[in-house]
A and B are shown apart, each in its own frame.
Chain A
Amino acid sequence: MQEKALKAREKPAALGPDLDIKSFTRDVKSWPNCPVRSLPKDIAQQSLNVGVRTDEKGRAGTYFQIDHSTVFGAVQKMFEGKAEIMSTEEALEKYDWMEDYWWKLVAVDVDKYTALAEFGWDKGYFIRVLEGQKVTLPLQACLFVSKDNLNQNVHNIIIAEPNSEMQIITGCAVHPNVQRGLHVGISEFFVKKGAKLTFTMVHNWAQNFDVRPRTVALVEDGGTFVNNYVCLKPVKSLQMYPAAYCKGVNSRARFNSILYGTKNSYLDVGSKVVLQGVGSRGEVTTRAIASDNAQIYARGLLVGEQEDSKAHLECRGLLLSDSASIHAIPELVAKVKGAELSHEAAVGKIAEEQIQYLMARGFSESEAESLIVRGFMDISIFGLPNQLQDEVKKMVDITTARAL
């Protein structure tokens, strides 16, 4: 593993601006373990903004990491024996079988960021729901950066055992003092037979922050993987292209992304679904808004490798400024006949007739615009349970209201 990683140490990523890893620091004090409720107010507030509640209200369990330290990781009492949540470091010590999941979906030598996560590994979360268990409340995880110019490299493992069901909400956030930094996140998802996993990730980075997540999911027979992503705050550069392999018969994968690019943000976000199982289905839905000088690349790739497989890709982009840009790149690759792949993409500014229509209902021009923009970022596409949907909607509404 180390040998492979060593070879990829200088290898730039296929997409996104190349970063000088050495310009970030790895030197940071460690945080002690503590009850998640006792975290300082400013950290609690920032984590709440990405959907992670330090009061744990309405959550089945929590993982909280600050910089390189795991601060907290446990499920609530009523979910003990159903689900577990801890750092991947602890999980590797606890379970021999972790070797079967570690670096099994994401290759360590993809690029210098995966290599970095091997050499400079800073924990990450391990979340597992046991066979047949349906966890009724969302599990939550927060990856927090408190020090300026820090490099944080997490490696997460998420396992939905056969016929289990779970919702996960994860948030990445930085302390208001943090301007610059590099976050690398390796995530490997295992959705086993008949399991259903909905993963919702909210990112709130800083204007000079660089982010390189590397994510792969494997979906077995009858399994469903839903990956929701929300990015609302400015970020210097974010490049990711998560992939889901629908290997099982009747397996399903869905990627929903809401990207709100502001200021000088560079967002290069793709979603890839590979249909390998008979009857597998994929769906990619992206809503991208670019304002100020934001540059957004919205990519999508559907690969049909099996007969009787079907997938659809939909990308809508809304341009709010003349100096911003949205580049939609939908790709379809059919390798066998009987793989049915389709896409639709539309990029443009707000239609004048929509504004006029709403003004004819008494809204001012700016009210009409904000209504249309908020409507555009319609999080009902995520298919979340009501309470979580309300929480995420609130986050989106607050950010949009501020941005407009």
Chain B
Amino acid sequence: MKSTIIEVINLKKDFYVGDVTVRALKGINLKIEQGEFVAIMGASGSGKSTMLNILGCLDKPTSGEYKLDGVSVSQLNKNELAHLRNEKLGFVFQSYNLLSRTSALENVELPLFYNSHVKSKERKERAIAALESVGLADRMHHMPNQLSGGQQQRVAIARSLVNDPVVILADEATGNLDTRTSYEIMELFQRLNTDEGKTIVFVTHEPDIARLTSRNIIFRDGWVTKEQLVTDKVLASEMLKALPLVEHEG
């Protein structure tokens, strides 16, 4: 029995720029089940980033309902939101956002520093396990500047996994990477989704990346204009094989 991880009901978000009210989200209804791999697509200005911020508990809706893993988020205050982010969410950013001059291991440990229930021994063990699951066990003590872009993003993914979140939110996570590395990262996401049952929400504007997920939600002008299951789901590993062989950076 799969449970609903994300439920959004008639959610609206307005921004006030001077006297002008910008209606970024005009009434969104969404439902994401456990174990889904969803791509949120849309052009810039479509409201997909605003949606992701709200889904990530970084921002609050103007009106409407958002339930994350059964918790109604709309009524929570800043500190409760921070707590929720720490316990239930994992973020992967376009620009990795790793701490410089900090080893991969410490970067991955970071979310657990903000969880007072995790002792330092457990923190380290979980960080090592997360790094192993993204295939970077041998790069644990490297600094970000000693890692390639793809490896840095893997560290970031390990960091998003370490607190065992109910959903991973990825914001253009392949945006800074070349095609081959993008597919490698997507392969990792697909594996996390199918093998480990992770729920993933992936914001992108690239259709060929969206094809690697299981469901696409398309935003336009603050509305969800289209929602479709990916019928011809492709495996990233096959896409990789199809790519012409080039020297491999990573």
Do A and B come from the same complex? no
Seen from chain B, the residues whose Cβ lies within 8 Å of a Cβ on chain A are: none
Seen from chain A, the residues whose Cβ lies within 8 Å of a Cβ on chain B are: none
